[in-house]
Amino acid sequence: MPKVYSKALDETIEVERVIDHLKGNPNGPTLVFFAGIHGNEPSGVFALKHVLQELKIQATPVNGAIYAIAGNLVALDKGVRFAKEDLNRIWFPQRLKKIEQREILDNEEREMSSIYQHIKKILDEGTPPFYFIDLHTTSSDTHPFIVLNDSLLNRKYASNYPLPTILGIEEYLEGALLSYINELGYVSLGYESGSHDDVKAIKNSIDFIRYTLAITDSVSYAAQETLRLRNEIFESGGVSNRFYEIYYQHDIAPEDRFRMLPGFINFQKIPKGVDLATSKGEVLTTKGKRQIFMPLYQDQGREGFYFVRPIPKILLWISKGLRRFKADHLLVRLPGVAWKSIRKDALVVDQRVARFLAKSIFHLLGYRARQFDRTHLVVKSREIASKTKDYVNTEWF
């Protein structure tokens, strides 16, 4: 059985794929937590083990079902981010199909196949509404925050947490587990609780898990306890409770010899002319005022850092209105814009013709863009798949 070591606690535990599983009132929701998708991020594993054992010891009534699923077991056992490739960058439907047809798989493919089978079984046997929460930590010092794919359903659910929230990370991170699940239409979000080896990251995860159980009505905590948990989460945030968007990602390759300069933390505001990192033998310097996000302080990883900016509330309201009235259907009447398929969940944009359509416009309409070739963008809607009807009768909705 794989062993997971926490440097923060100086403690080792043994885990299986399903860390724990609780089932109660069959009319309740199905809540699925993931932890250790990256093997050097054990905090979520320890936090889930603690909370679910606590619920069992105290014989706490459970509504629906709660699952705690471990991610990359081999990498967790070795204490590394991944063995061959990042398990959180390979969740593509076409790759899952290929894996099902092959007998010889590498480590991360075996891990993905196993997790996929558990997800499939949960969706087949569980009862809606479904919630999928992925617990992570970062290589840099950070206050906790949430990341999610930008659908109105995800936004509405995430607004229950008094934490900074990053929208649209799927435009930069291809093949993430939560992107795959979100395209199935379910509520899904990632929670970053702190730095890898900080004991506060475990404590923050425990509070976050308990509060999630409360707002999804998986466990009926007293109102006073739910308020206490909310206050704990708010105080852990440290950054204004608002929505942010990523607008720049610095990609790196092993041959770049990328090294982040010390001292940068998430959401830090940086003036023009500050040295950030070294790459390809050169120093990377800010060309204007920036707000840095996820600076890389570990050996494995393909993203050196991001820049983020807050999203004005007025734009969030405009975006909400445009999506509800399906304003995107007007875009196909413009030159250079066409539906990608009869499903009408993606657009192909010829930038030679529709160069006036900036990515920000598509973001407002619920689309995230990827470069298809030198002249074309493919933008995909996050609204079409949302199973909003499954959630309309919940307390939080």
pLDDT at residue 357, as a whole number = 66
Question: Mean pLDDT throughout 229-244?
Answer: 88
Nearest to residue 142, comparing CAs of 205, 207, 190, 194? 194
pTM over 0.85: yes
Sign of CA dihedral 346, 351, 353, 359: positive
Secondary structure letter of residue 389 according to DSSP: G
What is the spatial distance between Cα 254 and Cα 238, in angstroms, rounded to a whole number?
33
Q: Give the pLDDT band of residue 172 (cuts 50, 70, 90).
A: confident
Q: Give the pLDDT band of residue 379 (cuts 50, 70, 90).
A: confident
Of the two residues 382 and 148, the one the predictor is more confident about is 148
Q: Give the pLDDT band of residue 335 (cuts 50, 70, 90).
A: confident
- Residue 22, strand partner residues: 66
- Residue 130, strand partner residues: 30
**Tokens for 308?**
């983020």
On whether the CB atoms of residues 32 and 122 are closer than 8 A, the answer is yes
Res 310 pLDDT > 90: yes
**Secondary element (H or E) of residue 67:** strand 63-70
Res 144 pLDDT > 70: yes
